Structure 1
Amino acid sequence: MAGREDSGTVGGPFPPAAPAPLTAALEAIGAGAYVVDDKGCIAAVNSRAEHLLGRPSHELLGHDAHDLLHRGPQGQPLPRTQCAMRQAFHAGRAAQADEDYFAHADGSLLPISWMITPYDTGEPEPGTLVVFHAPGRDTGAQPEPTARQLSELQRLALLAETTAQLTSTLDVDEALRRLVRLVVPRLADWAIVDMISERDEVWRAVVVHADGDGLLDHEDLRGPMPPIAAKSPMPLSRALRGVASTLAGPHTYRGTPDSGIAVEQRRLFEATGMHSAAIAPIRSTRAVLGALTVGRAENPAAFTPADLPLIEDVARRAGLALDNARLYQRQRKVAETMQNHLLPQMPGVPGLEMTVRYLPAPDASQVGGDWYDAFPLADASTALAVGDVVGHDLEAAAGMAQVRNMLRAYAWSQHEPPSRIVERLDEAIRHITDVTMATMIFARIEPADAGHWLLSWTNAGHPPPLLISKDGLASYLTDGHGILLGTQANTRRPDATALLPPDSTLVLYTDGLIEGPGHSLDTGLEQLRRHAAALAHRTLASFTDQLLRRVRPAANDDDVALLALRVPES
């Protein structure tokens, strides 16, 4: 388990008291049992474990379980890298071993078998339950664990692992993959998942069966299903209506089919060779989402009614996880759609290539204030802008739209340098918007002599533009830099100008492209410069896509807006 410097008690001379409900729950287990906290220290222990280990609870509570108890076959301390229990603990998954060793209080070695599973202790941080059995040393008054008790422990382990696995992803397809890996081959040879769409259409999303240590996907058996039969008494139809879980077999569908679903179920049993199946609804608190079918073909044991509660529990937990994933994806889609509608289409500028990209943050709620813009001005030049309103929520997105629209109005109506336009914008947003702070670059570009284009700009606290020549020389345009919007400093903003040579590329971007955990801003800027230089020979669309793929940090939690333009060859 997780380590500590010492193996003494935690928090002073007296060990922490275990919560009474938690201790009572452990006493109901007919084997040695203890619970560790998220640091691997024992938080509760039952009397059977005290007896087997020869230690009263006050000698166990608060101690690091691995350091205090776990030993190798010769009684030596067990290295953490060799501890399967510790690996399962850190992975938050269930595991078990038939032969291992604990240290007894009298110095002897205690051969044990154990099972470990995540456990809800009622605390904010998750706990872990360890259940162990010591053959030949269980001489206390309590009997050895019965087959029923061991079966219940395995059931709890499966349910805990189901909850841990399914709630740790917000991707529907990944949740389905994890679901079938949990039940096959542990419960069945086959697993089938039928999902109900938001339009009440049924789709057979998963059909897999055990293939050695892996799962074999049967794509030919997946696909659209007939509509749910409203009054059919057949098992799958009942499950898809959320009525009940049911046992089924080939005989169930041998009669005259009462619906299209019954026809598909007969085909399923014929194709898979299943002789026994259990079918349970997958439902959330709001609706029925589908049905889980687990079936046995190679395993000769048929499902019995006693198996249904476990399968129902697994399906119920899957339903809650899948509902959360669907809500997440729906929210993400709404956010992306809104952001894309807020961002403008790029104008056609004769003689210039221009492309833009917007990548939302990984979190669906992280629609935010990153934006780009380009639009013609009254004097026949073209305005360019990229910016970032502080925040990652719908308010930031709304603020972004306000800032962009106000900038357009000022830039069109006021024939002034970029610095003066941004000064007017800065003054206005403090009074007529809810935007607190923002960064941006505002520029104008127009043809110059000898195939060059003249860029003039001002920078309000934003990462600098990057200019790349056709020969791969890349440099940042660091002039024209001033403070961000919203500071109320009322200082004059600088302007800067640069000539863009033929076949050069200009990149404007937001900080989500270069900032990420684990590296500095300077590191991100250097990575962007190097990769942009290496990609200078690509077409502009390929240049932009590859730049995003190579430079954007993998652990990025921010959105990214990027505008790239290329001056034509002379």
Structure 2
Amino acid sequence: MAGLEHSGTRGTRRPAATPANALTDALEAIRTGAYVVDEQGRVIAMNSLTRELLGWAPEDLLGHDAHDLLHRDPHGHPLPRTQCRMRQAFHARRTAQAEEDHFARRDGSVLPISWLITPFDLVGLERSTLVLFHAWHPAEADSPPEPAATLLPELERLALLAATTTQLTSTLDVDEALRRLVTLVVPRLADWVIIDLITERDEVWRTVVVEADGTALVRHDELQGPMPPVPEESPMPLSRALRGVASTLAGPQTYQGPPDSGIAVEQRRLFDATGIHSAAIAPIRSTRAVLGALTLGRAKQDGNFNTVDLPLIEDIARRAGLALDNARLYQRQRKVAETMQNHLLPQMPRVPGLQMTVRYLPAPDASQVGGDWYDAFSLSDGSTALAVGDVVGHDLEAAAGMAQVRNMLRAYAWALPEPPSRIVDRLDEAVMHITDVAMATLILAKVEEADEGRWKLTWTNAGHPPPLLISHDGLAEYLTDGHGILLGTGARRPRADATVLLPPGSTLVLYTDGLIEEPGHTLDQGLHRLRQHAAALAHRPLASFTDQLLRRVRPAANDDDVALLAVRAPTRD
């Protein structure tokens, strides 16, 4: 569609936080030197302690090969790559650690270090690697190491906490956050994980019961479900955790006595069913409330949890609580926004002789509401107005702007018995002066019955993707006439109208750009895909045609909402 004056709106949205920025914030929570490299070994993020220990400024590290810049032998000479244990682990994509190595400082000295390296994949930062290190004095090498008394060595513990923070905070889906939490803790810390969550109605739900069976994770649905209410005074471990009181150790014997609550009965059932011989239970808290409890259990694994293990489990549960709280808030906003959008979009009028159907699909990964809209309404002269538009933005402000534009369009179209181009001219002038809408695209059409039972379509296009007309026999063409500039530019250029007679049984499709635009592909490719599938579906009933068209054409990588209005002319008797 060369020469088409399409003006998209997606590039004007607010920039999102990048994965690297979020990662840098997460690394600051680690209490040792920490940095992340990409798949070429270049530094992409670091915490402030790394800079303090090594003396390098951020611009000295970011984008540079970590091995070439930092890795040295004890005398400060560059370390050949073939002799670098860290480099070997990096290329093999495996976790490794070393007690004695050396990094170059900015002042030319060398820093004796211990390090741990582990693969660290995140959405947007695939095949990255986390490096943790801490400094030591050579005299420490002569001192016998203290026995490890916790679940994991210090560097592995910090690596786990870093992974917990970054993986959980990089999703705003509650179910996905729970799935990631499970894979982080089993079988690394335990062979059972149980997550009890407190719902917004203050009910407890046993949401996750998962067992590590070798390398497989087995979900036990029969142990999940609603739980009794949280007792106010019970001293039992899970009850205390669900009140946010404390982390506690537990075992089968903990719940063998007379139960003091329904939760105690469910806990006895859990221990009996799973064979857990040792458990650690920690509250899942956000800054605002107690969200639930995390239980790690050992059945097949040897050894019992002890009190020195609790700080690590508490840290994991606390990070999980912050991530879950953010995800819940986001989903609540999405629900409110979706409800608002559904109330803003109108019901379609019944037009004798015409079939009409509409669809609205919100963006899958955004705020579930945006500026895309459709409308159809009767006019004072007996014709029917059809409209599809897109207000710049993808948030509640865009939805509010959409409502303003749509309502003003209805008022002008009803009051002014003029062609669509004149109505849109008046709308454009009003948008500039009495709304906060920055820019918008729009198609306004008028459909009316003509001679011999045929239907006439008259339209004007303000910077919007062109309508598509498909004959009953599957001939599809874009209606590129009547095209002009989008709303809100301030340019006073004359707008044109175009007219066409709808062939009997033909289908008219008005849509927004989320149906055809896809990252990495041209607009022409999206338009071709739409035309090809619409032609193939021309024989389908209108509802099936519309649903299948959305399913086939909407890009898998779509990050925009889609509004679609389809109209079918009657066939000849």
Between the aligned partners of 2:217 and 2:477, the Cα distance in structure 1 is: 51
* Residue aligning to 2:107: none
* Residue aligning to 1:229: 231
Query: 1:54 aligned to 2:74?
Result: yes
Q: Using CA pairs under 8 Å that are at least 6 residues apart, name the structure with larger relative contact order, 1 or 2.
A: 2
* Residue aligning to 2:497: 495
Q: CA deviation at 1:113?
A: 11
Between the aligned partners of 1:283 and 1:379, the Cα distance in structure 2 is: 62
* Residue aligning to 2:23: none
Quickly say closer, same or farther: Cα 1:184–1:561, change in 2 above 3 A.
Answer: same
Query: 1:406 aligned to 2:408?
Result: yes
Q: CA deviation at 1:131?
A: 5.2
**Structure 1 segment 104-143 matched on structure 2, within 5 A:** 115-117=116-118, 128-130=130-132, 141-143=141-143
Counterpart selection for 2:50 from 14, 18, 22: 22
Quickly say closer, same or farther: Cα 1:3–1:151, change in 2 above 3 A.
Answer: closer
Instruction: Assess if the C-alpha contact under 8 Å between 1:328 and 1:364 holds in 2.
Output: no
Between the aligned partners of 1:505 and 1:226, the Cα distance in structure 2 is: 56
* Residue aligning to 1:85: 90
Quickly say closer, same or farther: Cα 1:189–1:514, change in 2 above 3 A.
Answer: same
SS at match of 1:334: helix
**Structure 1 segment 443-454 matched on structure 2, within 5 A:** 443-454=445-456
Between the aligned partners of 2:325 and 2:525, the Cα distance in structure 1 is: 40
Instruction: Assess if the C-alpha contact under 8 Å between 1:250 and 1:274 holds in 2.
Output: yes
Between the aligned partners of 1:366 and 1:379, the Cα distance in structure 2 is: 37
* Residue aligning to 1:361: 363
Q: CA deviation at 1:535?
A: 1.9
* Residue aligning to 2:421: 419
**Structure 1 segment 95-174 matched on structure 2, within 5 A:** 95-97=94-96, 115-117=116-118, 128-130=130-132, 141-143=141-143, 147-148=147-148, 151-174=153-176
Instruction: Assess if the C-alpha contact under 8 Å between 1:36 and 1:128 holds in 2.
Output: no
Q: CA deviation at 1:557?
A: 2.4
Instruction: Report Cα offsets for 1:82-108 as digits up to 9, x if no partner.
Output: x652575xxxxxx51489xx9999xxx
Between the aligned partners of 2:183 and 2:454, the Cα distance in structure 1 is: 60
Instruction: Report Cα offsets for 1:239-296 as digits up to 9, x if no partner.
Output: 0000001011111111111111111111111111111111100001111111000101
Between the aligned partners of 1:69 and 1:540, the Cα distance in structure 2 is: 68
Which one-letter code corresponds to 1:148 in the other structure? A
Between the aligned partners of 1:338 and 1:278, the Cα distance in structure 2 is: 43
**Structure 1 segment 3-14 matched on structure 2, within 5 A:** none
Which one-letter code corresponds to 1:520 in the other structure? T
* Residue aligning to 2:19: none
Instruction: Report Cα offsets for 1:40-63 as digits up to 9, x if no partner.
Output: 426996xxx75xx2342xx66xxx
**Structure 1 segment 238-277 matched on structure 2, within 5 A:** 238-277=240-279
Quickly say closer, same or farther: Cα 1:55–1:505, change in 2 above 3 A.
Answer: farther
* Residue aligning to 1:14: none
**Structure 1 segment 326-365 matched on structure 2, within 5 A:** 326-365=328-367
Instruction: Assess if the C-alpha contact under 8 Å between 1:509 and 1:563 holds in 2.
Output: yes
**Structure 1 segment 337-486 matched on structure 2, within 5 A:** 337-365=339-367, 367-486=369-488
Residue-pair matches, total:
511
Instruction: Report Cα offsets for 1:137-179 as digits up to 9, x if no partner.
Output: x999555765539711221111111112111111100110111
SS at match of 2:153: helix
Instruction: Assess if the C-alpha contact under 8 Å between 1:36 and 1:127 holds in 2.
Output: no
Quickly say closer, same or farther: Cα 1:4–1:225, change in 2 above 3 A.
Answer: closer
* Residue aligning to 1:92: none
* Residue aligning to 1:550: 552
Between the aligned partners of 1:394 and 1:470, the Cα distance in structure 2 is: 39
Which one-letter code corresponds to 1:208 in the other structure? V
Between the aligned partners of 2:54 and 2:253, the Cα distance in structure 1 is: 44
Which one-letter code corresponds to 1:525 in the other structure? L
Instruction: Assess if the C-alpha contact under 8 Å between 1:366 and 1:558 holds in 2.
Output: no
Which one-letter code corresponds to 1:116 in the other structure? I
Instruction: Assess if the C-alpha contact under 8 Å between 2:117 and 2:129 holds in 1.
Output: no
Quickly say closer, same or farther: Cα 1:98–1:391, change in 2 above 3 A.
Answer: closer
- Percent identity of the aligned residues? 70
Between the aligned partners of 1:461 and 1:488, the Cα distance in structure 2 is: 14
Quickly say closer, same or farther: Cα 1:533–1:19, change in 2 above 3 A.
Answer: closer
**Structure 1 segment 215-226 matched on structure 2, within 5 A:** 215-226=217-228
Q: CA deviation at 1:3?
A: 7.4
Instruction: Assess if the C-alpha contact under 8 Å between 1:118 and 1:161 holds in 2.
Output: no
Q: CA deviation at 1:374?
A: 0.4
Quickly say closer, same or farther: Cα 1:256–1:118, change in 2 above 3 A.
Answer: same
Between the aligned partners of 2:489 and 2:429, the Cα distance in structure 1 is: 10
Instruction: Report Cα offsets for 1:109-142 as digits up to 9, x if no partner.
Output: xxx99731489xxxxxx99325599xxxx99955
Between the aligned partners of 2:247 and 2:39, the Cα distance in structure 1 is: 45
Q: CA deviation at 1:338?
A: 1.3
Instruction: Report Cα offsets for 1:509-529 as digits up to 9, x if no partner.
Output: 111111121011111111111
Instruction: Assess if the C-alpha contact under 8 Å between 1:97 and 1:113 holds in 2.
Output: no
Q: CA deviation at 1:482?
A: 1.2
Q: CA deviation at 1:539?
A: 2.4
Moved more, 190-199 or 424-433: 424-433
Instruction: Report Cα offsets for 1:493-519 as digits up to 9, x if no partner.
Output: 111111111221111011111112101
SS at match of 1:344: coil
* Residue aligning to 2:66: 41
Which one-letter code corresponds to 2:95 in the other structure? Q
RMSD: 3.5
Between the aligned partners of 1:147 and 1:544, the Cα distance in structure 2 is: 67
Instruction: Assess if the C-alpha contact under 8 Å between 2:95 and 2:119 holds in 1.
Output: no
Q: Structure 1 regions of 5+ residues with no counterpart?
A: 11-17, 28-34, 61-67, 89-94, 106-111, 120-125
Counterpart selection for 2:506 from 504, 520, 533: 504
TM-score, normalised via structure 1 length: 0.82
Query: 1:563 aligned to 2:562?
Result: no
Quickly say closer, same or farther: Cα 1:550–1:338, change in 2 above 3 A.
Answer: same
Instruction: Assess if the C-alpha contact under 8 Å between 1:358 and 1:559 holds in 2.
Output: yes
SS at match of 1:247: strand
Between the aligned partners of 2:330 and 2:476, the Cα distance in structure 1 is: 40
Q: CA deviation at 1:550?
A: 2.2
Quickly say closer, same or farther: Cα 1:290–1:512, change in 2 above 3 A.
Answer: same
Q: Structure 2 regions of 5+ residues with no counterpart?
A: 1-36, 105-112, 121-127
Q: CA deviation at 1:355?
A: 1.4
